[in-house]
Structure 1
Amino acid sequence: MADNSSLGSARKAKNDEFYTQYSDIEAEMNAYVEYDPDVFRGKTILLPCDDPEWSNFTKYFAANFTRLGLKKLISTSYAKGAGNRQMTPFELNSPLYDEEKHKTHGKLFTLTSDTDGDGTVDTDDIEFSGYLEGDGDFRSKEVKKLRDEADIIITNPPFSLFREFLAWILEADKKFVILGNMNAITYKEVFPYLQDNTMWLGYKSLNQDMYFNVTDDYKQWLLENKKEGSAYKVIDGVVMGRLASACWFTNVDHGKRHEKLVLDTMAHNLKFNKKLRKKLEKDYGKVEYPHYDNYDAIEVPFTECIPSDYDGVMGVPITFMDKYNPEQFEIVAFRKGDDGKDLVFTRERERESTTVLSHPCTTSIPGMIKNAEGKINGRLTYARITIIHKRLP
């Protein structure tokens, strides 16, 4: 569950045992409830691959079961051999406990009511409902059946399986809130859904790092091999794995995506925005919005520098999606690049004999400039999303 090689390798090596903090889950869910107080009311929520003893997703929804008005909470966890190293008391204390099945079978936990009669519905009322036939893989028929029963799917899937997990949700036409890597914005399996507003980014800002609880083995590895502040941070004496590019992907609405981005005119940006002026002077030798060599659009290096009075197509960073208001902007289109790869960062290459007008104004991913498509003075640009202002008639 990581966007860099160190955290990514460790995640694979440590069986994906990275746990989202309760506070991060709470902050995200509160944004949906603030926008629509009944968003979870009467709903069945599925938390795939979430052990109720160790997962904060299960803890959060169990603790807030009554407040949110949930109908049912379903959690599944992997078999011990598939990565779940510790046993929950829910399983151990259940008459359904089987030592052999614990090692090879996934587990099913449910919460529907106040089973212990203490007057509240909470974590103590979670029931171990038995073993799955398989190891708990979300792609199994039995977990698919649970998916089909659910109204909303919420979890933190392994980033390496993000494309497949998203497709698994979308094929069932379910509501969802899932964690992913910011770079997933650029995937051909993801961006079309962002472009047509089938899904969007969640409430959490892309400028905020996320820190995850990690295994003891990985904590030790971080301390021995990494510098604090890069791959980890010590918070209240606990070593936490750091992930700067984590973000939520969802189709549950929230107020942030309807906030209008306040912008200035092109002339004012070029005259008064010091960061923009420095960037343009350094990279292009003059203080003006550059035009792509082979695409009819201007380059906007920072989201806050989108000119309010420009009616043409603009190439903006992928972090723009954090501020994207579908009522204010339109993503022009979407298509895959000629090389079949995801977006790449800047690299120099020999200028080709092409001008702005020598090719049609199309890209291989409409809505996204990548690889050789977005050259300025013969130099490849960073990955860009192409947008245009929506103007009221």
Structure 2
Amino acid sequence: MAKNKTLLKANTAKQDEFYTTYDAIQEELNYYEDQLKGKVILCNCDDPFESNFCKFFMRNFNYLKLKRLICTSYSGSSIVGTQLSLFDEYHELLTNSHGYVLDIHEIPMANGRGISDNDINWILHQKNIVKRLKGNGDFRSKECVNYLKQADIVVTNEPFSLFREYTKQLFNYHKQFLIIGNMNNITYKETFPLLKNNLMWLGINHGDMKFTVPNNYIPRKTRFWIDKNGQKWRSFGNICWFTNLDYEQRHEDLILYKSYSKKEYLKYDNFDAIEVSKVADIPMDYSGIMGVPITFLDKYNPDQFEIIGLDRYTVPKEKLVGGRLSINGKTKYARILIKNKKVQKIEN
């Protein structure tokens, strides 16, 4: 059994490497420029030579007036050394048997504005820029936690299977962050309270996102392809950014246009709340509790709505049907229970 568990973990790790495109990173990071300026940025799941997170912050290091950039890689990565023949500070060829760290405090600007990909490659090849870690580069290792303590903001695409453990560590060390995850993470018992209590929220971009994957990635029937250069790709339709960095759009009211009626908005069999199957159908004049899809969090304005809870963590278990709310005996998918704050204020 022990061997089987080890093999399962190893197999999961190999299928948990999704590399974010530069465009996707830039599209999201553009909204946080002011909060990034002058900060120590840590990308602690990112190979210095291959990661687009590392490339983005190197290219924009001076524009954002960063104080410091730290990027660490995990020794078990399948991608290290596969795309470029690179050497560490000992002038030994990089392999995936070691973790590595890029730790820089300044980047020269030859043209007075920024740096190109050629400039990045030149910088990375300078001695002592990328160093071999003593350990394997796991974000949970003592060595990497020490880097975490020195960081202001963590920005990365962490292993999806370790989302709960990863976010727990971020909160344990009181870090600001901007990370990528699956929208289903919203329903985790460890995650939802953070969203409910406005300790974490969704970023700007969400929905369909594509990632490059290592050569050893096992092909799938859907959302998988190989481009003309032989690069393997995988996409997901339910990806989102998680963050505790605030932004202006988060405080814009969701425009509501429908009025409440008993005929259209049915109450659940097992809880005193109405069913709203589409976020766009939230009534503008209902002051009670409403059940809405988890995609509501894409539009959630904490000044406009109050999150009461998630069905399975709010309604007594004995009242739920298969862990869910129901209408006329038919269960609904996960529902976030909310109230419209502004309707309550008017009525009071």
TM-score normalized with structure 1 length? 0.75
Q: Which residue matches 2:276?
A: 300
Task: Give the AA of the match of 1:109.
Answer: L
Aligned residues: 326
Instruction: Give the aligned CA root-mean-square deviation in angstroms.
Output: 3.0
Q: Which residue matches 1:169?
A: 170
Cα–Cα, structure 1 residues 173 and 328, in superposed 2: closer, same or farther, change >3 Å? same
- Please say if residues 201 and 247 of structure 1, whose CA atoms lie closer than 8 Å, have aligned partners that are also in contact: yes
Q: Does 1:379 align with 2:330?
A: yes
Q: Does 1:232 align with 2:184?
A: no
Q: Does 1:309 align with 2:285?
A: yes
Q: How does 1:338-349 map to 2 (within 5 A)?
A: none
Q: Does 1:78 align with 2:71?
A: no
Q: Which residue matches 1:247?
A: 240
Q: Does 1:109 align with 2:112?
A: no
Aligned mate of 1:125, from 85, 99, 123: 123
Q: CA deviation at 1:256?
A: 2.4
CA distance in 2, matches of 1:148, 1:294: 46
- Please say if residues 48 and 130 of structure 2, whose CA atoms lie closer than 8 Å, have aligned partners that are also in contact: no
Q: CA deviation at 1:214?
A: 1.9
Q: Which residue matches 1:19?
A: 19
- Please say if residues 302 and 316 of structure 1, whose CA atoms lie closer than 8 Å, have aligned partners that are also in contact: yes
Task: Give the AA of the match of 2:194.
Answer: Y
Q: How does 1:1-393 map to 2 (within 5 A)?
A: 12=12, 14=14, 16-33=16-33, 38-79=34-75, 81-86=76-81, 92=87, 94-98=88-92, 102-114=95-107, 120=114, 123=120, 124-126=122-124, 128-206=129-207, 209-218=208-217, 221-222=218-219, 226=221, 230-232=222-224, 239-266=232-259, 288-333=264-309, 337=313, 363-364=315-316, 371-391=322-342, 392=345
SS at structure 1 position matched to 2:336: strand
Unaligned runs of 5+ in 1: 1-8, 271-285, 338-361
- Cα deviations by residue, 1:202-225 (Å, 9 ceiling, x for unpaired): 10033xx1011122343xx53xx5
Q: CA deviation at 1:90?
A: 9.2
Q: CA deviation at 1:311?
A: 0.6
Q: CA deviation at 1:191?
A: 0.6
- Please say if residues 192 and 334 of structure 1, whose CA atoms lie closer than 8 Å, have aligned partners that are also in contact: no
Residue identity over aligned pairs, in percent, reads: 44
CA distance in 1, matches of 2:327, 2:315: 15
SS at structure 2 position matched to 1:266: coil
Unaligned runs of 5+ in 2: 1-8
- Cα deviations by residue, 1:144-175 (Å, 9 ceiling, x for unpaired): 01000000001111111000000011101111
Q: CA deviation at 1:241?
A: 1.0
Cα–Cα, structure 1 residues 201 and 258, in superposed 2: closer, same or farther, change >3 Å? same
Task: Give the AA of the match of 2:315.
Answer: T
